Chain A
Amino acid sequence: MRFDFLELPGGSSTLLRPIVPVQVEDLEDAPQLCLVDTGSTHNRFGAWLAEATGIDLSDAPESDLAVGGLLTKACHARAELTIGGTRYDAPVTFCDPWPFAFHLLGQEGFLRFFRVELCAAEAWLKVELEAEFKAELNSLHT
């Protein structure tokens, strides 16, 4: 799947962000635009999304996490994510507070499963399911 970068107003120039629309659980009406962050070890989502989708965090392991210079409470859970028609179960860290514009797609939970080709010069990225993971998903569904 190919996705255009998102154009953001940035004063004198347009800011371009590599984003991927992600359906979280059954929130079909509102795919979340997530920033591809190769430096992030895990997926980091705003905690409001867990509440909105009915993910119970009451028993989820917690830790303090420093994100972008901000200390946030992180609840480590799992969520069903759908990217380009592929639905899979992924580890997600739900963070509160989360004052950032986007959720983050990181290594575990995204880059481990999808191969990403990124062209900043033309402002697009391609996301392709890893063959090994595709076979794993197929075996689960048969």
Chain B
Amino acid sequence: MQFTIAGHVFELDTAGVERLIEGVLPDPVREHYVVVRGRRFPPKQVLVAVTGLDRADFTTHQARRILMRLGFLAARKGRETPNAEVSDQDLLPGGDGPHGGRQAAALEPYVGQWVALGEPTEVLVAADSPQDVLAWLSRHGKQATGMFYVPADLADAEGAAPA
């Protein structure tokens, strides 16, 4: 699909965007985000990563529109949103636990990764190593409420009792 952004023409497709963003850690989401392979990114961050343009070259609205045309889910934190967009609440099923299953649902995309939580259902950052998470928190001046590895299977989740 062809897009003109800030006077430059780009040929973008969904698989290409997913590939280019694969090793990128998501920046903090202020309001708008898009979901790429289960991770939430600020729309501008994704477009910068795939085009090489400067963030100032386009608006968040442009970035969202382009990424939505490519088939990515666009949403806004904790708000009702129209049409193809969804709010956080739409993404979260009901269930057991102190947060009604919403925390588990928020963690689901990050199975097998290290995460830092902000609010109970807010994943600030997810990465393959704890060192990457620490570096990201430091770089962005963010304070996590808790950091851990989202277990990939029941054995990991059960923890470990010394023999």
Could you list which residues of chain A lie within 8 angstroms of chain B, going by C-beta atoms? 4-10, 13-17, 19, 21, 27-33, 35, 37, 39-42, 44, 46, 48-49, 52, 65-70, 99-102, 104, 106, 122-124
Q: Which interface residue of B111, B120, B148 has the most chain A CB atoms within 10 A?
A: B148
| B160 CB–A CB distance under 8 Å | yes
In contact, B147 and A68 (Cβ under 8 angstroms): no
Number of residues from B at the complex interface, CB < 8 A: 40
- List the A residue with the shortest CB-CB distance to B99: A7
Pick from B143, B151, B163: contact of A66, CB under 8 Å: B163
Q: Which residues of B149-163 are within 8 A (CB) of A?
A: 149-151, 154-157, 159-163
Instruction: Count A-B pairs with CB separation below 8 Å.
Output: 133
Question: B-side binding surface: helix, strand, loop or mixed?
Answer: mixed
In contact, A100 and B104 (Cβ under 8 angstroms): no
The docked-state distance in angstroms from the alpha carbon of A70 to that of B130 is 21
Could you list which residues of chain B lie within 8 angstroms of chain A, going by C-beta atoms? 95-99, 101-105, 107-108, 111, 116, 120, 130-131, 133-134, 137-138, 142-151, 154-157, 159-163
Pick from A14, A27, A39, A66: contact of B104, CB under 8 Å: A14
Pick from B101, B150, B156, B162: contact of A65, CB under 8 Å: B162
In contact, B151 and A8 (Cβ under 8 angstroms): yes
In contact, A7 and B148 (Cβ under 8 angstroms): no
The 7 closest A-B pairs by CB, nearest first: A68-B160, A4-B98, A7-B103, A7-B97, A7-B104, A101-B151, A66-B163
In contact, A44 and B162 (Cβ under 8 angstroms): yes
- List the B residue with the shortest CB-CB distance to A22: B146
